[in-house]
Amino acid sequence: MPELGKYAGAVLGSWAVTLGLIAVLIALTWVQSRKARAGLDAIEARRKRKEG
């Protein structure tokens, strides 16, 4: 690990915040994807009932 000196706290804190925000964005994207998939599945099920 590089020597960060007196800025170690700020640098490591910035990395921690960045990684945390990326994790939150991934989680939100995953949740939205599941909701969209469920909605599309419901629409497709209704369409199949009308046709079938």
7-45: pLDDT as tens digits:
999 999 999 999 999 999 999 999 999 999 999 999 999
pLDDT exceeds 90 at position 46: yes
- Residues sharing a CB contact under 8 Å with residue 12, sequence separation 6 or more, in sequence order: 4
d(CA 8, CA 42): 51
Q: Name the DSSP class of 7.
A: G
d(CA 10, CA 24): 21
pLDDT of 52 = 72
pLDDT of 3 = 86
pLDDT of 1 = 66
- Residues sharing a CB contact under 8 Å with residue 11, sequence separation 6 or more, in sequence order: 4
Residue among 29, 30, 2, 32 at smallest CA distance from 15:
2
